[in-house]
Chain A
Amino acid sequence: EAQVTQNPRYLITVTGKKLTVTCSQNMNHEYMSWYRQDPGLGLRQIYYSMNVEVTDKGDVPEGYKVSRKEKRNFPLILESPSPNQTSLYFCASSLSSRGYEQYFGPGTRLTVT
Chain B
Amino acid sequence: QKEVEQDPGPLSVPEGAIVSLNCTYSNSAFQYFMWYRQYSRKGPELLMYTYSSGNKEDGRFTAQVDKSSKYISLFIRDSQPSDSATYLCAMSPGGTSYGKLTFGQGTILTVHP
Chain A interface residues (CB < 8 Å from chain B): 4, 31, 33, 35, 40-45, 48-50, 56, 58-59, 90, 92, 97-107
Contact = CB atoms under 8 A, between A and B. Distances in A.
Interface stretch (B11-19, B37-45, B74-82): B37-45
Interface of B: 6, 8, 32, 34, 41-46, 49, 88, 90, 92, 94, 98-106
5 contacts: A42-B103, A42-B106, A49-B99, A99-B92, A105-B43
A111 to B, nearest CB: 16
Given A90-B43, A102-B46, A105-B43, A43 B88 contact: yes
Given A104-B43, A106-B43, A45 B105 contact: no
A39 to B, nearest CB: 9
A45 B34 CA distance: 15
B43 A45 contact: no
Given A43-B44, A107-B43, A102 B99 contact: no
A33 B103 CA distance: 13
A98 B46 contact: no
B102 A59 contact: yes
Contact of B100 (A40, A41, A45, A106): A45
A49 B99 CA distance: 8
A35 to B, nearest CB: 8
Contacts of B98: 98-99
B88 A42 contact: yes
Contact of B99 (A33, A35, A104, A105): A33
B39 to A, nearest CB: 11
Contacts of B34: 100
A72 to B, nearest CB: 18
The residue among A43, A44, A45, A59 with the most chain B CB atoms within 10 A of its own CB is A43
A50 B103 CA distance: 19
Contact of A48 (B42, B49, B100, B104): B100
The residue among A33, A90, A98 with the most chain B CB atoms within 10 A of its own CB is A98
